[in-house]
Amino acid sequence: MKRIFVKISLVVAMGLMLISQGNAQSSQGTFPFLASVDLCGELVDIEGEFHVVTNSVTSNSGNTTSKYHINLKGTGVGQTSGAIYQVNETINETSNSAKGFNVTFNRSFSLIGQGKAPNFKGNITYHITINANGELTAEVDNFRAICK
């Protein structure tokens, strides 16, 4: 499940990166989503909206700094139990590029079960640094998830 969350987030972030290139740009928008996730041993169908804010600045020296903030709000229904969940997620990403590249990605998510349904909370922190020669010089990949 960790890899699914990371892959979805990286795809969203890379897509946002492509639409926010330029000298100085800001944009925001709201997008619907549908997904199914494995939550505490049960598949939960989720629907809701992403609210996305992007900022990108390119300096005269060619350094580009991009920031992304994404909020996800929605509801979920357990496929087996029918349990109802409130879904909240926040994604923050900052990337810098010039002669090399680094990106830091933080993602917090929670699915709060109504009644006796379990709660699921998680956090992902990911960072990479690639030098001007294209070599990976630093990588941090932390994942925590609690189901109770």
Res. 14 pLDDT band, cuts 50 70 90: very low
> Residues 128-137: contacts with CB within 8 Å, 24+ apart?
128/101, 128/102, 128/103, 129/100, 129/101, 129/102, 130/100, 130/101, 130/102, 131/100, 132/99, 132/100
What's the length of the chain? 148
Res. 2 pLDDT band, cuts 50 70 90: very low
pLDDT average, residue stretch 37-49: 89
Residue 91 and residue 58: Cα distance in Å, rounded? Answer: 22
pTM over 0.75: no
pLDDT average, residue stretch 21-47: 80
